[in-house]
Structure 1
Amino acid sequence: MAGCGSQGAKQNTSNASAADTITIGAPDAATGALANEGKLVHDGYTLWQDVVNKQGGLLVGGKRYKINLVFKDDQSKPDNDKSLTEQMITQDGIKLFLSPYASPNIFAASTVAESHKVPMIAAGGGAKKIFERGYKYIFSSYPYSGEYLGSVLDLLKGRGIKTVAFLHADDLFSQEADQGGEAYAKSHGFDVVYSAQYPSGATDLSSQLTQIAQKKADALIGTGHFEEAVQLVKQAKQMNVNFKAMAFTVGPTMPAFAQNLGKDAEGVLGASLWTPDLPYKDDVFGTAAQYAALYKQSFGTEPDYHAAMASAAAEMMGLAIQKAGSADPQKVRDALAGLGTVHLFDGSFTIEPNGSIKGLVLPVIQIQNGKAVTVWPAPFDKNIKDIPLPPWSKR
């Protein structure tokens, strides 16, 4: 079968011969600033591979093929994703790809994939700019970044929040998520009293918190990444800067967030793309709850949306290979473009002509007793607690 083989380092191997194996490349953030999120994406991809292989392989044209994922560490750096993707295509002969984590990294890797006419499915970033280049070989399991905060703001409006402070990192994803969030807030009657940008990976945000405290914002909304969200909560407590609500695009959904912050994480909201409570299912993983149980059994921790969306992206690749009846990259690309509306354990969505998706319902979680609890949309809104948040002195 075209596109089959078994190459590369840091890969998951099977007992099948190369002719009976479909190899898929995946640059990933095993180390560096994005390693926490990168591990979730890595494990999400791996779970799909393991489930499919346990079922005997992916059924393509009446024959089963084992899946062989090849991972190479990009150290969280977009420039490395360019060189690694080039290497995996030209030296390792890999012709199908799942993306690295984070929009800047996907932007870089997909540039190389496009130049070689090799399909890549993005799981880990939804920056609109990725899909505005007229590319034909990039697809996604993620909605646009600018859509992430709509559900959070709908929830806050229903809890009487009127003034909002926005703080965002300067990377591609965070900028677009913030722009979309601010626009949504203004169009839905919120008063945006503060908006500022900080360098991605910043470890001291005390000056920004001081300015926000002076504005007396009801809510803080941060669009950045895990380490920055943790730092903002820690410094807000240290400085006794109180909010009626705190919400982040990345961080609260990840088990490490509550583990790191302990009781200080209680009540914090997180924008999400998936939770195990949602009423979706498919033929590979079963229900969303069954997916979560399988993930925990495999990796010893609860999955968040990073893991689930990675598994969904891998599942999309499998569907396209089956539809194409081949692992030939052009046929798989055409099959991806023709998938239309897809129904998976993470929800139902439609693949757009530019490779992006629309229609995915975006939930919101809240940290309660150290766990991520689904609190949006209805009927999960009955689960909301502690908004307004108590002041730090009374927690």
Structure 2
Amino acid sequence: MRFADANSEPTGTPSTSRPVTRRRTMARLLGVAALLATTALGGLGIGAAPARAEDEIRIGVIYPLTGAAASTGVELKAAAELAAAIINKEIPAPAGLVAGVGMPHMKGAKIRLVFGDHQGNPQVGATEAERLITSEKVAALAGAYFSNVTATASQVAERYGVPFLNGESSSATLTQRHFKWFFRTTPHDDLFVTNFFTFLEDMEKKTGDKLRTVGLFNENTLWGNETTKLQVKLAADRKFDIAEKIVYPAKTTQMTSEVQRLKASKPAVIMQSSYLGDAILSMKTYKELGFLPKMLLANDAGFNDSEFLKTMGKDGEFVISREVWALDQADRNPLIRQVNDLMKQRSGVDFNGNSARAFTAIAVLADAIDRAGATTPDAIRKALQETDIPATGLIMPWKGVKFDADGQNELGQGLIVQVQNGQYATVWPFDVATKPVVYPMPAWDGR
């Protein structure tokens, strides 16, 4: 923007029109300063006016787009982009989906996603969050899949006073920090780990077998470490024995010694938290060393990534995993299939629990911004606090979305699925199961 010199007349005004006074000069300086301040603050979403029809609403999205989890990041990005395309009416919206479609209270402003790549590194995630806020002038942030990255990126958002909506990270402590600007739609690991032990107790009743010896095998970032603590506590509370507890280095390139320890402890069940590369490596090592428990209970993440079954084939069969989404629940909720079909058409893959949560996060955030009718941080935060989306408006098998005082969705629920014939089938809770559990896991050479 070009401004006239404070001691000259505006362009096109004769210099002889009236004399320049000290008062007029000061007024001009104050006016220029006010305009510059308004422009700068508006760029950060502070004091911004309601959007005009030609405006775009910039949302920063932070995912692992390069590095070991890049294939996961690509699917998360595709899911977020699908949500934006539906919101922007680039493709028809399935009836009943709550996603701020058309942004009517924002006069038709378009959502623009601005992506950051955290590479699986918490410090890079924090840097990307700051870049998106200060340089890209985003109104809100979403991401970041890795719990340890979400922790650092959301700290930056908290410092700047920018809403951060997390769709995929499950470390329970993320919503125990009492942050003002942090919201999470997905259930957390406290619920998921509790579900595992309840599932094992239900399986004991169904089979008559004792499943009381458990091996823990978790990666050592925030997510895996917190999961281990929860598992140890709940095992004691529910009277399960920990046969072996291993917390291995994330992104390790070999697991031989760890798997040998697991095998020697002879657990009936393995509970495992691994991202994609580690999940694949562990399964290959189990087979090489001839180790096979009665059940492998995976904590989602790498075991539910589309690349896992592409790589493992039949060796990935019969893994049981906690989940938040399943395609076979479409008979109970038609939106699941309708939106999944759009995902398949655009990206060539079905949703999984990771990508379905990424889609839902953008949809929930857009709905809040539309209801806010403005892109100011306080307006978006207030709208998020007032969110009350029914189950019928979601593609998730939840009771809805409604945030508590710490920003945690109170209405999320978990499923347990098992890989059967190359598909993830819901096996628990038993009243919504579409397939019975294949138990115990068939031998490696019997598949």
TM over 0.5: yes
Post-superposition shift, 1:18?
8.5
- 1:316 is aligned to 364
* 2:383 aligned residue: 335
1:288-347: CA deviation from partner (whole Å, max 9, x where unpaired): 122222211111011101111111111111121122111222100111112246532212
* Aligned position for 1:262: 313
- Give the superposition deviation at 1:391: 2.4
Mapped partners of 2:442, 2:187: distance in 1: 33
- Residues 252-302 of structure 1: per-residue CA shift (max 9 Å, x gap): 3222111111111111111111112336999xxx61122222211111011
Unaligned runs of 5+ in 2: 1-38, 44-50, 92-100, 204-208
Distance (whole Å) between structure 2 residues aligned to residue 75 and residue 22 of structure 1: 25
Equivalence map 1:105-144=2 (5 Å): 105-144=149-188
The one-letter amino acid paired with 1:64 is G
Q: When you count helix as a share of all residues, which structure comes out higher?
A: 2
Q: Does 1:100 align with 2:144?
A: yes
Residue 350 of structure 2 is aligned with which of 302, 311, 320?
302
User: CA shift at 1:386, angstroms?
Assistant: 2.6
Residue type matched to 2:260 in 1? T
The structure that is strand-richer by fraction is 1
Corresponding residue of 1:212: 262
User: Which residue does the alignment assign to 1:375?
Assistant: 427
Matched, 1:359 2:403: no
8 Å contact from structure 1 (residues 164, 217) kept in 2: yes
Please give the alpha-carbon distance, in whole angstroms, between the structure 2 residues aligned to 1:281 and 1:95. Answer: 35
Is 1:34 the counterpart of 2:69? The answer is yes
> Which residue does the alignment assign to 1:64?
108
* Equivalences, count: 382
Q: Higher mean Cα deviation, 163-172 or 151-160?
A: 151-160
Q: Choose 164-173 or 153-162, whichever is displaced more.
A: 153-162
Two-structure CA RMSD over aligned residues (Å): 2.6
Amino acid at match of 1:390: P
Q: 2:276 aligns with which of 203, 212, 226?
A: 226
Show the counterpart of 2:289: 239
Identity of aligned residues (%): 25
Contact 2:219 2:247 in 1 (8 A): yes
- Scaled by the length of structure 2, the TM-score of the pair is 0.79
Q: What is the CA distance between 1:146 and its match in structure 2?
A: 2.7
- Confirm whether residue 273 of structure 1 aligns to residue 324 of structure 2: yes
Whether 2:124 is the aligned partner of 1:89: answer no
Aligned twin of 2:47: none
**Any stretches of 5+ residues in structure 1 without a counterpart?**
6-15
- Code of the residue aligned with 1:306 in structure 2: it is N
The whole-number CA distance in structure 1 between the counterparts of 2:134 and 2:229 is 38
Q: Which residue of the partner structure matches residue 12 of structure 1?
A: none
Rounded to whole Å, the distance in 2 between the matches of 1:288 and 1:186 is 38
Q: Which amino acid aligns with 1:47?
A: L
| Alignment pair present for 1:287 and 2:335 | yes
Q: Does 1:150 align with 2:191?
A: no
Deviation of 1:190 after TM superposition, in Å, equals 2.5
Match of 1:9 in 2: none
2:373 aligned to which of 312, 317, 325:
325
